A and B are shown apart, each in its own frame.
Chain A
Amino acid sequence: MRLFLFELKKIAWTKKFLVILLILFCSILFLFIRNSLFADYAQEQKNEEIALFIETSSTKDFNYTNEIETIGSNEDTERKQELNLKVWNLAKELRNSLSAEDWRRTLEIENSLLIAIRNYKATEEDYPISEDEISYRLAMNHTLLELGIAPEYENYSTAFPNFLKQVVDVFINYGGLLIALLLIGEIVTREFENKSIRLLFTLPLSRPKLIWSKYFSALATFFFTFIFVIALGMSVGKIFGADGSFAYPVLIEKEGQFFYMPTIDYILYVILLFAILLVFVTALYMFYSLVFKHLLATLAATVATLVGGYQLGNLTNWAPFSWVNPFQYIFPIEAILYQNNELFYQGISVTLFLTLLLLVASIIRVRQNLE
């Protein structure tokens, strides 16, 4: 325990750690301010999209009319014009309903519009929205109507649950792993590089215990950082944001179909998978640091292993491979959102098993002498 506490003290007083916390603090505040300022921008984007639909349908209708006048009546053209007209009318109706208070009515109109666009696209005509987007939005709108939850602009939300989800997503997608590697590097590899590990090796401390304490202090430091991010996201969201609902749906794609998961479950699962990833990456990094004893070499070997393993997983379409692939959680958010060939929990046991193997290998390695 004393060694563990000493390790924590060493990292806690480094400039690097304090700078990381400061950057995270500023980033979360910036994200909230950005969401507050750009909420109108999201509405504008929605208006622009509807305006684009109206303009597209208007142009198409003009073209069909011309075609019929020039070439003469044609059943196919008339059918397309009819479908396009339906889209046009629904788009105008949606535009008018946006300012109304009744969000249910707006979602119903939007669903009708999306179905009309899908029917129109089925005639092999193009329209400025993809089939994937239509499916996603229809599924989301249906779920919101079913749950009775008003829609939010997810990327610009100031509602507490969605803002917290956004904070977790952004942290994990952009920099979470990098920050983890920096902190672990400071605790493990840096000691070999600047020889301070020799102090610990010439005290009456068993080397396996030393490895365990370094491992757990690296994890504790990172989890403290992660908890700091979550706590700050919660505080900012709760104090300055709107109430919102943790039941707000997050859509999960399974075998090409959409299912929903409440935001609270999503956040917990993402944290769980990221924690498992961290437990694994820390063990991998520790093993490499005992092999290379150099920060950059260790970092390069760790990144190469993770990227290589992830690519290998992508190349393999064999579904049972998910049970033995420890690299599938490198992007934990993807692992939850897209469960087409595998279920998100399938790789947990193999990842933990490999972590244990790496720790045993590290202990065997550290029993040997420093060269």
Chain B
Amino acid sequence: MIVQVDNLKKKYKKDWILQGVQFEIDHPQIVALVGPNGSGKTTLFNCMTNLLSFNSGTIKLLEKDYTDTSLFYDIAYLQDNRILYENLTAYDHLKFVCSVMKLPNSKIIEVAERVGMQRYLKKRVQKFSLGMKQHLLLAMAIINSPKLLLMDEPINGLDPTSAINMRKILLELHEEGTTIIISSHNLDEIDRLTNTIYFMKDGRILEESLKDYNTKKYFLTVNQIDQAKAILEENAYPVKVNKEEQIEFDDNHTSLQEVISLLNQHDILVEDTEIIRIGAEKRYLELFEGTNTE
């Protein structure tokens, strides 16, 4: 068993933040944790990593008790960027993690290249943008190729290119056998990563498989984006251009084949097509519509 959380309850002052959280992960996969602010996602991560105590319940990670510090050789927790030391460089951070994990320093360059942060490896964190800090946090989290990776809002502050790169890395890690539990408000990204989503509501987890939510979203990369958009709009297709300069539309009223044919007729080349389910957003709205997120 990779993760075993049983009836976890956590009270803070007078409020129950977690009210019997229960879930198990028995094989490597990507699991998304989705819920409004204050639903207990970060508290759950903090309890799992022994940063917070809890009132009742049990947690076992990789068949070990959650308090065992040796677990952190195999588990990484990507937290918010306040854990970084402003006056140290990215290299200092990675070197320290390497020394604690008993890894060779050559891993630093390796991970920096993988994350795409070689340019500012020797820069101090105080000069970092939000995205650069997220890169460093990711590099620190994956430097030891963990078996279990917990990620709290890792996409926050990332530009589209970095977000795509992070997605690529996470999918690669998953291929390599890492179990990833990721919390995020970016439901598009979640849909691209997994269809195993634990929606958190009122301190409980509603385990969901989104295989029944088959609405699809298409992302087309074309050679003439403005012209393609104009043609599709002229023909009354409800499309938009996203931040990544892709044509974006869903399959409710539009057929992918029709769109590609139309563009081909106008000599516009479709270079790449990406298809994702958009179950997360749909299910989220059903569960949380009208929920006060503050």
A residues engaging B (CB < 8 A)? Answer: 2-3, 6, 9-10, 13-15, 194-196, 198-199, 201-207, 368-371
Contact = CB atoms under 8 A, between A and B. Distances in A.
Given A2-B96, A203-B97, A204-B72, A198 B51 contact: yes
B82 interface: yes
Contacts of A6: 96, 99
A78 B79 CA distance: 91
Nearest to B84: A196
Interface in B75-97: 76-77, 79-80, 82-85, 87-88, 92, 96-97
Contacts of A202: 49, 51, 72, 76-77, 79
Contacts of A13: 87-88
B186 interface: no
B236 interface: no
B51 A204 contact: no
Contacts of B79: 195, 198-199, 202
B50 interface: yes
Contacts of B49: 201-202
Contacts of A14: 87
Nearest to A2: B99
A13 B49 CA distance: 30
Nearest to A10: B85
Given A2-B100, A9-B88, A204-B72, A371 B82 contact: no
Contact of A369 (B52, B72, B80): B52
Nearest to A198: B83
Contact of A196 (B76, B82, B99, B101): B82
Given A203-B100, A204-B72, A195 B88 contact: no
Contacts of A15: 87
Contacts of A195: 79-80, 82-83
A205 B69 contact: yes
The residue among A3, A14, A203, A205 with the most chain B CB atoms within 10 A of its own CB is A203
A202 B151 CA distance: 13
Contacts of B97: 203
Contact of B83 (A10, A196, A204, A371): A196
B53 interface: yes
A369 B50 contact: yes
B284 interface: no
A207 B69 contact: yes
A194 B82 contact: yes
Interface string B54-86: 000000000000000111110011011011110
A42 to B, nearest CB: 44
A23 to B, nearest CB: 19
B50 A368 contact: no
Contacts of B70: 204
The residue among A6, A9, A199, A206 with the most chain B CB atoms within 10 A of its own CB is A199
Contact of B51 (A3, A194, A201): A201
A142 B73 CA distance: 70
A369 B12 CA distance: 14
A199 B83 contact: yes
Contacts of B84: 196, 199
A369 B53 contact: yes
A369 B55 CA distance: 12
A205 B88 contact: no
A203 to B, nearest CB: 5
B286 to A, nearest CB: 35
Given A198-B82, A204-B69, 13 more contacts: A6-B96, A9-B88, A10-B88, A13-B88, A194-B82, A196-B85, A199-B140, A202-B79, A204-B101, A205-B69, A205-B72, A369-B53, A370-B52
